[in-house]
Amino acid sequence: MANQGQSAAEIVFDRATKVYRGAPAPAVDELSMTVPAGEICVLLGPSGSGKTTALTMVNRLVEPTSGDIRIDGVSVAEQDATGLRRRIGYVIQQIGLFPHMTIEENVATVPQVLGWKRDRIRDRVRELLDLVGLPPREYGGRYPAQLSGGQRQRVGIARALAADPPVMLMDEPFGALDPITREHMQDEFLRLHEQVRKTTLFVSHDMDEAVKMGDRIAIFREGGHLVQYDAPERILTAPADDFVARFIGADRGLKALTLRRVGDLPLEPADATPDTAPLAATETLHTALSALMTSGTDRLPVADGDGRLVGTVTLDLIRAEAGRPAPHEGEVA
């Protein structure tokens, strides 16, 4: 399925602020940022930093106290909340599949309330179940209780995509899954996003997940302050302040290596007859460093997709690359 239906939309937070009644301080404080259409923006921060509040202000489950949020230039406050929500995909950690409905019925929920014709709903549901890797013949008639956690979250994502919304809100969608399933679902979602390109806001408290999923990362501090909004690489190599540096961890240098590929290095010439198995050029520098450590040498051969040797990666090359600052991209809007 290619990018069909509605295209992605730009999301703009314009000094959006939320003060809960009776709370001494704002949950989200003057949040201003722009998420370009089609990108994944990860909202990252510790508990109580307002990231979920920021997310749910977009679909008006939480109403901003002041400021504005615009989707494709239209303020959400001016739109009917129900209609707005039907144009926004919403995925939560608890998944929230309706246990008395089959998988097909769950996915069909929004198209049904939108009054689509039955044939169109059926076709769309099958298309989506195929897309998330759950063959409709096998899974369509099952109930949520008959699926594993990972399968249920796939249904949750299919349900959110059902009416082809230009925007997806995901609130720690993989937080309740075991580490292996989580990693698998992250890969699946990235693959899916390549195809459907929805503007996605993705709440997480896991730095590794943010680096992996985000085109951009917005880091929040307690009190709902946005402290840095940047590409993952920029955040890892140039944290805005001590808070960001501490939050992303002392191993940020290593994490940054997960963003770069061996093939992008200025490799040294290939040795004629290497005595170790070659690394793939598509591996990350993180993996290459790990391979160097375990091999006990300081140089390893690199091969391309066809197994041809293209060069040699060395410890010195990786060290030099790790010290190089990332290209400057986005900033706090």
Partner 1 sequence: MNTFLDSFTFMGGHLGLLLGKAWSHLVLSAAAFVVALVIAAPLGIWLGHRRRGGFIAISVSNVGRALPSLALIAIFLGLLGIGFTNVLVALVIMAVPPILTNAYLAVEQVDPDLVRAARGMGLTPWQILFRIELPLALPVLFTGIRIAVVYVISSATLAAVAGGGGLGDIILNQVAYGLSGVIAAALWVAVLALVADALLGMVRKLLTPRGVRHLGNDGASSR
Task: Give the x-and-dash track for 147-166 against partner 1 (CB under 8 A).
Answer: xx----------xx------
Q: For residue 43, give the 3-state DSSP assignment.
A: strand
Choose between 102 and 258: whose C-beta lies nearer to partner 1: 102
Q: Does 99 bind partner 1 (CB under 8 A)?
A: yes
Choose between 59 and 228: whose C-beta lies nearer to partner 1: 59
Nearest approach, Cβ of residue 146 and partner 1 (Å): 6
- Structural contact between residues 151 and 134, judged by C-beta atoms closer than 8 angstroms: yes
Structure tokens at 243: 């808070």
Structure tokens at 280: 């793939």
- Structural contact between residues 239 and 228, judged by C-beta atoms closer than 8 angstroms: yes
Choose between 89 and 330: whose C-beta lies nearer to partner 1: 89
Interface residue with partner 1 among 70, 85, 124, 182 (CB under 8 A) is 85
CB contact set of 322 (below 8 Å; sequence gap of 6+)? 253, 256, 257, 285
Strand partners, 230: 217
- Separation in Å, CA 129 to CA 133, 141, 155, 170, 196: 6, 12, 7, 19, 14
Q: Does 100 bind partner 1 (CB under 8 A)?
A: yes
Choose between 159 and 216: whose C-beta lies nearer to partner 1: 159
H or E segment to which residue 255 belongs = helix 252-257
Interface residue with partner 1 among 19, 77, 101, 254 (CB under 8 A) is 101
Nearest approach, Cβ of residue 145 and partner 1 (Å): 5
Task: Give the x-and-dash track for 20-59 against partner 1 (CB under 8 A).
Answer: ------------------------------------x--x
CB atoms within 10 A of CB 325: 9
Interface residue with partner 1 among 22, 73, 83, 323 (CB under 8 A) is 83
Q: Does 144 bind partner 1 (CB under 8 A)?
A: yes
- Structural contact between residues 101 and 182, judged by C-beta atoms closer than 8 angstroms: no
Q: Closest by alpha carbon to 331, among 233, 230, 202, 204?
A: 230
Site size toward partner 1, by CB under 8 A? 34
Which residues of this chain interact with partner 1, rule CB under 8 A? 56, 59, 61, 81-88, 90, 92, 94-102, 109-110, 113, 143-148, 159-160, 169
